[in-house]
Amino acid sequence: MSSVKQLVESGCIASIPSKYVFTRSLDETPTLPQPEAIIPVIDFSLLTSGNAEQRTKAIKDLGKACREWGFFMIINHNVPEKLMKDMISGSQSFFDLREEEKQEYAGKALFDPIRWGTSFNATADETFFWRDYLKIHVHPHFNVNALTKPAGFSEVIQEYCKQTRELAGELLRGISKSLGLEEIYIEKKMNKESGPHELMAINLYPPCPQPDVAMGLPPHTDHGFITLLMQNELCGLQVLYNGNWVSINPFPNSFLVNIGDHMEILTNGKHKSVVHRALVNNKATRISIGTAHGPTLDTVVSPAPEFVDYKTHPPLYRGIKYRDYMQLQQSNQLNGKSCLDRIRI
């Protein structure tokens, strides 16, 4: 396997190999000029505020962001800035290891604990994406000894996951409340007691000589209930909003949150998963770190009774085990909402 990083470092390439040329359709969805799309910003300190009025307002805003965008930014959270920076520098150091050192994690299967690779599914992708990745199943079982290099990175990941798990839990409780349900409704559906599943994807997008021709990650939605995403200072993420691409320029020290397919399934389409993609640039390496928070692998997620009315709003999706859904996504091309479409009734 040749990584994009190795390709870039192997010499001065002026144009990208043909297998990376991503054909954009002629009726390409337009990208909105910046000031026209103000993405929702949720102040986490208000969501957890002791002031009932402030909390109620934050929960209402959260519900609106989930309904209208399926995407929002979180500010004033409790995850230390240094920990987020250490995640970025640890990730960079991992990808900077010699290719032979990373090979230990190459060619692994979807449910192997740690997997290093390139594109999305390099054995099946017709077009390669300009992205290398490190994927780690960080919960419920994360073996700190499984990732020995770079030194100390495992411990940083472990602490980061502990902190972001709390953040995700608070968001899921807020989303449950915003849906008029008991606070722990979604967490119960995740089988929280037996340890919900968390898959972390660390994405590395090296500088690309032809950024308009290549694609970091094509339009897709994420599996799981929500994904928490952070990045280094380089932008590239776009989300689909009202038929337009919106470029996301997050505030420093913030998190981005996507609604995933399992939230859409559970709420029978009330909260829709958001289509997003990652563009590349020709200036510097972009790193993003996304963690999908889903139920336990054996949980079957289906539309919950609270969102189903057999006369007016019957179930829109058939129930499927989280494990099988991930497998379904992995074994097909990453393409918009095509995975969710496979279980649509």
Ligand X SMILES: O=C(O)CCC(=O)C(=O)O
Of 276, 266, 258, 250, nearest in space to 315 by CA: 266
Span of 11-19, 103-111, 216-224, 301-309 interacting with Fe ion by CB under 5 A = 216-224
Does residue 261 belong to the site contacting Fe ion (CB under 5 A)?
no
Kindly state the smallest distance separating residue 334's Cβ from ligand X, in Å: 9
Residues 259-288 that bind ligand X (CB under 6 A): 276, 278, 288
CA distance 296 to 247: 33
- Give the residue closest to Fe ion by C-beta: 222
Does residue 217 belong to the site contacting ligand X (CB under 6 A)?
yes
Does residue 222 belong to the site contacting Fe ion (CB under 5 A)?
yes
Span of 84-92, 113-121, 185-193, 228-236 interacting with ligand X by CB under 6 A = 228-236
Among 62, 73, 237, 266, binds ligand X (CB under 6 A): 237
Written as six digits, the tokens of 281 are 């640039």
The DSSP 8-state label assigned to residue 323 in this structure reads H
Kindly state the smallest distance separating residue 269's Cβ from Fe ion, in Å: 20
Helical ranges in the chain per DSSP H: 4-9, 44-47, 52-68, 81-96, 99-103, 153-178, 185-189, 261-266, 322-330, 338-341
Is residue 282 within 8 A of residue 211, CB to CB? The reply is yes
Q: Residue 138's binding partner, choosing from ligand X, Fe ion, none, with beta-carbon cut-off 5 to 8 A by kind?
A: none
CA distance 83 to 185: 30
Written as six digits, the tokens of 224 are 């799981």
Span of 34-42, 70-78, 146-154, 231-239 interacting with ligand X by CB under 6 A = 231-239
Kindly state the smallest distance separating residue 308's Cβ from ligand X, in Å: 29
Kindly state the smallest distance separating residue 275's Cβ from ligand X, in Å: 10
Is residue 248 within 8 A of residue 256, CB to CB? The reply is yes
Number of chain residues interacting with ligand X (CB under 6 A): 12
Angle between helices 52-68 and 153-178 (to 10 degrees): 90
Nearer to ligand X, 276 or 293 (CB): 276
Side-chain half-sphere CA neighbours of 143 within 13 A: 7
Does residue 198 belong to the site contacting ligand X (CB under 6 A)?
no
CA distance 78 to 147: 26
Kindly state the smallest distance separating residue 289's Cβ from ligand X, in Å: 8
Q: Which residues form the interface with ligand X (CB under 6 A)?
A: 201, 203, 217, 222, 229, 231, 236-237, 276, 278, 288, 290
Q: Which residues form the interface with Fe ion (CB under 5 A)?
A: 222
